[in-house]
Structure 1
Amino acid sequence: MNIKGKRVLITGGSSGIGLALARAFLAKGAKVVISGRRPDVLEKALEELHRASSSVWSIAADVAAPDGRAATIKQAFDALGGLDVLVNNAGGVRAGRLENTPEAELRAMIEVDLVAPIMLTRAALPALRASGDAMVVNVASGIALIGAPFYATYAATKAGLARFGEALRRELKGEGVHVLTAYPGGTDTPMMKSNRAGPELGFSREPASAVADAIIEGVETDAFEVIRGGEARAQMIALNRDNPASVDERFLGLKPALEDAVKDHSAI
């Protein structure tokens, strides 16, 4: 895809990977709408982006709620006059043992990480079809590829999002709408601030700009997926497929330290 002139909606675009993607799309000549729940953070992000381009707008809405999704789609269409790229980036996480996690927090993850992208994509499809050269970008997680203890529900939502994207890509094949799934690893974003796990526990961090640049390259080359983490991640994915018991044993040795490091990891 040639990004120049494309009309792009990025959910969760006020910080982290979403904001980095907004910068990258604008640098390529796209027109961008970012959405977010927090008006103050959104306003600050928009001010920054406006210094680089006038072709950017913002929408304060919660995509986990039906009325928030409706407002996001309508206002994006009004601002852009259509849609070529939908980036389902908004997400939430709550780590910890399943039985100790309140049901409300589990449901919140499911709503924002899985239900919202499905419903937003459904609502956006008529405009994406009308584009003739469109794309849906789903930002999943490396945890969708290798399930980590204390992230069971988060892993479920992100793996569900990944398979949703794969199935939808095949459903839309030959119809002018491509689907790309991104699998970031640990990324230096506000969402990760309450996670105290470091590289020794499998949580190395890279800048959000590096993830955004990789996704942009995937968009430009019509890639099926973008997996971060390099050769080490590739080896772990292969091991998880070929010998999952050995990955179980590896996590067993890390469990006490990992549980303590992520018990306060919450961004919902």
Structure 2
Amino acid sequence: MNFKEKKVLITGGSSGIGKVIIAELVSLGTKHIAVVGRDPKKFEQLRMEFTDISFLFFEGNVAELDIIKQISAEIQSKWAGLDILINNAGVVSAGKLEDISDEDIIAQQNINVTGLILLTKYCLPLLKLSSEAAIINVSSGLGIIGLPFYAPYAATKAAVRQFSEAVRRELQDYPIHVMTVYPTATDTPMMTTANTSNMDTAEAVAKSTIEGLQKKSIDVFRGGEQMLNNRILNFQNPLEYDEKVKGMYEAMSKRASQHRAM
């Protein structure tokens, strides 16, 4: 893939994994990047850090349909097309299900799933104009293996996985590659309130993402051999994995007790 000519739209691109993905794209020669985020101060930081990039910035929440329509309309007006859509924005609110507020449960669904689907819908006409397009959806390891205290979040990330699979098959007649990324716990602002250590780096996740796109992978899994073994065990013998989770229960409870990034 020749990244120099690509026009890229990324949500949640002003910090964390998204910002490092931008750095990876810039290193490969990408010049046109549209960024969706909620903090305009971070847009200025991006502009100062990547001075040669032609940015489009959209302040807003991908859960808002009006914002999504504005994004697609302005990209149509300014660029007349789109090559790569990276659905990276996400929020999390962890804890016992009965303790998570109704508002946080709804917001996780709206931002992590509904907004992702709607933005993809409104960008598809633009992506279909490209001779070599891609959709990258960022899920989570929790979208493959559900763990305690993350039920609403895990549900959203499992939905992202199934959406990617379905839309990939739906778009078989178009040169649009669909790929899903499954990070494990990653050292980003989203994890600041999680009581955990030994996290992955945003740089490693971003590098795997771009390498996966270059290889035309449909899934990019982080977590190495341990995660692979866990996925196999959870699929083949979920009751046995239940027993394994019992040994992780207290640690998971501690990790989730203050974990909220909304």
User: TM-score range with shorter-chain normalisation?
Assistant: over 0.9
> Secondary structure at 1:132's aligned position in 2?
coil
Q: Is 2:137–2:180's contact at 8 Å kept on the other side of the alignment?
A: yes
Corresponding residue number in structure 2 for 1:113: 112
Structure 1 length-normalised TM: 0.93
Distance in 2 between residues matched to 1:175 and 1:257, nearest whole Å: 45
Compute the displacement of 1:54 (Å). Answer: 2.6
Please name the residue that 1:193 is paired with: 192
Structure 2 length-normalised TM: 0.95
* Alignment partner, residue 125 of structure 1: 124
What are the residue-to-residue correspondences of 1:10-49 with 2, within 5 Å? 10-30=10-30, 31-49=32-50
What is the Cα deviation at residue 177 of structure 1?
1.3
Correspondences of 1:23-102 after superposition (within 5 Å) = 23-30=23-30, 31-50=32-51, 53-102=52-101
Amino acid at match of 1:46: R
Deviation at 1:56, TM superposition (A): 2.9
Residue 201 (structure 1) aligns with:
none
CA distance in structure 2 between the partners assigned to 1:197 and 1:54 by the alignment: 35
* Equivalent-residue separation in structure 1 for 2:76 and 2:140 (angstroms): 28
Q: What amino acid maps onto 2:123 in structure 1?
A: A
- Tell me, in whole angstroms, the C-alpha distance in 2 between the residues paired with 1:76 and 1:35: 12
Tell me, in whole angstroms, the C-alpha distance in 2 between the residues paired with 1:79 and 1:92: 29
**Which string of whole-angstrom CA distances, capped at 9 and with x for unpartnered residues, describes residues 213-251 of structure 1?**
111011112111100111111111111111211221121
Runs of 5+ unmatched residues, structure 2: none
Equivalent position SS for 1:131 = coil
Cα deviation code 1:77-133 (max 9, x no counterpart): 444332000000000000001111111100000000000110000000101001121
Q: Does the Cα contact within 8 Å between 1:38 and 1:60 map onto a contact in 2?
A: yes
Q: Matched residues in 1 for 2:91 and 2:99: separation?
A: 17
Equivalenced residue count is 261
Pick closer, same or farther for the CA change 1:128–1:13 going to 2, 3 Å: same
Structure 1 unaligned blocks of 5 or more:
199-203
Deviation at 1:74, TM superposition (A): 2.6
* Structure 1 residue matching 2:109: 3-state secondary structure: helix
Match of 2:7 in 1: 7
Please report how far the alpha carbon of residue 27 of structure 1 lies from its aligned counterpart in structure 2 after TM superposition: 1.3
Residue aligned with 2:4, SS:
coil
Does residue 176 (structure 1) correspond to residue 146 (structure 2)? The answer is: no
List 4+ stretches of structure 1 deviating above 4 A: none
2:37 alignment partner AA: G
**120-129 vs 26-35, greater mean Cα deviation:** 26-35
Pairwise CA distance, 1:17: 0.6
The worse-fitting range, judged by mean Cα deviation, of 223-232 and 78-87 is 78-87
The Cα shift of 1:260 comes to 2.2
Deviations 1:179-237 (A, max 9, x none): 10000111110000000123xxxxx3121111111110111121111001111111111
- State the identity as a percent: 39
Q: In 2, distance between residues paired with 1:22 and 1:70?
A: 23
- 1:111-260 alignment, distance < 5 Å: 111-198=110-197, 204-260=198-254
